Chain A
Amino acid sequence: MITTTSQAEARQQKREPVLSIRQLVKRFGGLTAVNKVDMDVYPGEVVGLVGDNAAGKSTLIKCVSGVYHPEDGEIYFQGRRVNFARPIDARNAGIETIYQDLALAGNLNVSANIFMGREAKKRHLGGLIHTLDERYMLDESKQVLDTLEIRFPSYTEQIEKLSGGQRQAVAIARAVYWQARLMIMDEPTNNLGVVEQRKVLELIHKLKEQDVPVILISHTLPDVFAVTDRIVVLHRGRKVTEKSTSETDSQEIVQYMVGALDDSAEIRTA
């Protein structure tokens, strides 16, 4: 196992990892997409998961979020061994994955999206009739958006009228509101303008302040270096290195991404 300084620091603070992945293996037919990967995420930590196309980033993440079922290895979440049958189970446990398509309903407004599937209701006639508690949902939505310093011109407009970055913000706010214990973000800055990209990165900082750990999957190394504490590099399904962000640079990371450098090989040969 590769030990890095930041992990050591985290242990010194006696903080248990939120997420622990041990020797995880996922195969598709003859192809081993994820090969004996170990990974830890500590509270309030932003971990970058990088690698070339088909390096196994998305597969690894989908094993954690219950989309795929690993062939071998273990996943521990908040100290407990987990084995999510479906994505909704992972979500109920507190693992929120924000995919590129955002999983928002464009025809609904901000608060309806934040409360989608978990709408607040008012009781009438002794519980005989339930109506939506729009006021409560709107107030709560404004509050969570405020803590993330997100402002919209209108909270009652359908979100398809919002920009890509604003929608991303709604998705993040939803995860925060429902107290995600771990946030997985898959290419969150793709298809966004420069200003919006910066806003999303700011949001990741905010999540860190709220002690919500984030796994950030991204091709955009400047983004990764801007927000992460630690970077994990995958190459052809294997973890080739894990570096504290402050102790590496993008040139070195690229070397790992293309397979020119490989720490795990050194360990094996040693």
Chain B
Amino acid sequence: MALGKQQAIEVGTTTSQRERRKQLVLLLSRVWAWVFLGILIVFFIVSVPIVSEGSVTFLTVRNSQNILVAITPVLLLGLGQTFVIIAGGIDLSVGWMMSLASVISALVIRETFNVGQPLLAAVIIGFVATVVGTGFVGFLNGTIIARLKVPAFIVTLGSSFIVRGVAFLLTDNTTVIGLPPGLRDYGNNALIYLIRGEGGGVYFLNSPDVTGDLLRNMDRVLPYPVVLTVIVVAIAMFLLKKTQFGRHTYAIGGNLEAALRAGIPVDRHIISLYMLSAVTAGIAGFLSTLRFTAGSAVIGDPLLLSSIAAVIIGGVSLFGGAGSVMGTVIGALLIAVLTTGLVMLNVLPFWQFIVVGVVVILAVLIDQARDLIIGRFESE
């Protein structure tokens, strides 16, 4: 009797230990990307000055802003993709969609400005045209996927070719140039300007009129494209976590049949997801036009796979049903930190691809290992 009691207590302890270990594994699998990002940053902070013999440091205001500017297009492409993949789909058209958007916005801004509209009006009309144009293509994508039941992979693969062709046709295979010169400010000005050293200071909204050393020591903090991206990220987070739209996105990805039976307008929802994805890619293209004062039909293509990589590193399941906006932000940040840091270490840029590839596979392996370990805990 006494022995039995003893055993019962021991069983109790191991169960709680196992439970604690299970929680630890869960926690680690959830925050590994953060941890990895932190390790990377520390690694670069230490290694960059050593390699450059003290002439370059990693963690500067300027470098942090460069990283932010670098991730905006990848992040924007990844945001819409996050919604689409959570609902169990995929959008392969976002890369060329960004290109098309860059071309459309450049042409519309140029022509609107040339007929005598003020620059601000031209920019706004260019933005609206981009959103409407990409939104329309997204509508077609979604309609064919939802109503005609063609797999998303096929539809968006096909439409990415079509969009690519249209972008090249619109530009006649050249870069769209001759944009109003003031456009550069929209794409490059910042909320805050910091001038280090003597005669320096902090300026808001307007670029201080300085030259020479002062200009060299000036950092742009929160450039407009970053501000716009932050706003889009905030909206996406709100949409996914707080609204019925987000809930339905998870429900469709979790169990399509259940969503249908629950009366969720699944077809309509899927269409709006592909529109959302197209429009966030469109905003990325619009911002690239402002930043480079030119429209380019090739700007988005190399970013498609990076954006999907960011989404996967961020923990979105390609089987649908799981993922978050914050995860995608971390994924994009991780790739950008990695890329920037390796460049500062004077590593050949091709190594970036190899490292990003390893991290993508690692991300999915960690997910699987988590399920395996937890499964083992539960079967014990």
Contacts and interface: CB of A to CB of B under 8 A. Distances in A.
Give the interface SS of chain A, mostly helix, strand, loop or mixed: loop
A130 B259 contact: no
B253 A107 contact: yes
A170 to B, nearest CB: 11
Give the interface SS of chain B, mostly helix, strand, loop or mixed: helix
A88 B259 CA distance: 11
B262 interface: yes
A132 B254 CA distance: 18
B181 interface: no
A266 interface: no
A116 B249 CA distance: 11
B259 A105 contact: yes
A104 B244 contact: no
A91 interface: yes
Given A121-B244, A130-B244, A106 B262 contact: no
A92 B261 CA distance: 11
B242 A105 contact: no
Given A116-B251, A119-B247, A105 B258 contact: yes
A247 interface: no
Contacts of A87: 261
Contacts of A92: 263
A103 B254 CA distance: 10
Interface in B216-252: 242-244, 247-248, 250-251
Interface string A87-98: 110011000000
B251 A108 contact: yes
Contacts of A102: 258
Contact of B264 (A101, A116, A130, A131): A116
Interchain residue pairs A-B with the least CB separation, the first 4: A117-B262, A105-B254, A107-B254, A107-B321
Interface of B: 242-244, 247-248, 250-251, 253-255, 257-259, 261-264, 321-322
Interface of A: 87-88, 91-92, 101-108, 112, 116-119, 121, 130-132
5 contacts: A101-B257, A105-B259, A112-B250, A116-B262, A130-B244
